[in-house]
Amino acid sequence: MTAPAWQADPYTDALRTGRGPLFLRRPDGWLLPLEVERWCADPDDADLTVLERCRGPVLDIGCGPGRLVAAMAALGQPTLGIDVSPEAVARTLRLGGSALHRSVFDPLPLEGSWGTALLMDGNIGIGGDPWVLLSRVADLVAHDGVLLAETAPHDVDERVQVRVYDGSAQGSAFPWARVGTPALLDYAESAGWAADRAELWTVAGRAFVALRRAEQLGR
């Protein structure tokens, strides 16, 4: 479970202030920048292409500070954010969104009934095993539901141990994954999604995939 790591002080402090620097740090010292300022701002043009594809009740997995949950709530779209960070949940609630302090692997409301599930901002990495995560999400969405996921903007398939790091302090190690679109589609195919019917698009250097359940398409 990733909860202890994402409750570490560097991440909590960054969400409270709304700014970085903040990174995921591999054991070899390599740093992946985390876009805290973007996460704490209003949805940008790339985000809007995702939100306009949402249908039915929406589950934002790893909602962070809640920009997408709040935006959907303002539009009257039933949306629930879940996050293992108490500060992320608190910030989402302050913005007027609905959120629960839960992992995606915990029991959740409306299991099997969500119209749309979101895995944005690298959250395909949650748990460190994309296949397990995609299988879990397939159980969460309705028969005619959709998964909208953001992938790495290049072809990568990596499972690593990382720590949240702000340049001086760091949290405890936890498993994470980074996958580009080709790898995501490979995992999705065996996890109950119709990967060959996926919708792919990019905006401002960010890459997205829309997936539907394989059984929905008669497979």
* pLDDT tens-place values along the chain, 219 residues long: 444 555 557 999 999 999 999 999 999 999 999 999 999 999 999 999 999 999 999 999 999 999 999 999 999 999 999 999 999 999 999 999 999 999 999 999 999 999 999 999 999 999 999 999 999 999 999 999 999 999 999 999 999 999 999 999 999 999 999 999 999 999 999 999 999 999 999 999 999 999 999 876 555
Using DSSP's 3-state secondary structure scheme, residue 78 falls into coil
pTM here? 0.94
132: Cβ contacts below 8 Å, ≥ 6 apart: none
b/e per residue 125-163 (b: at least 16 CB within 10 A): bbbbebeebbbbbbebbbeebbbbbbbbeeeeeeebebb
159: Cβ contacts below 8 Å, ≥ 6 apart: 128, 129, 175, 176, 177
Q: Please state, in angstroms and rounded to a whole number, the distance separating the CA atoms of residues 36 and 20.
A: 6
The position carrying tokens 């397939």 is 138
Crossing angle between the packed helical segments 130-140 and 181-189, to the nearest 10 degrees: 60
Tokens of 117: 């599930």
Topology, domain 3-217 = Rossmann fold (3.40.50)
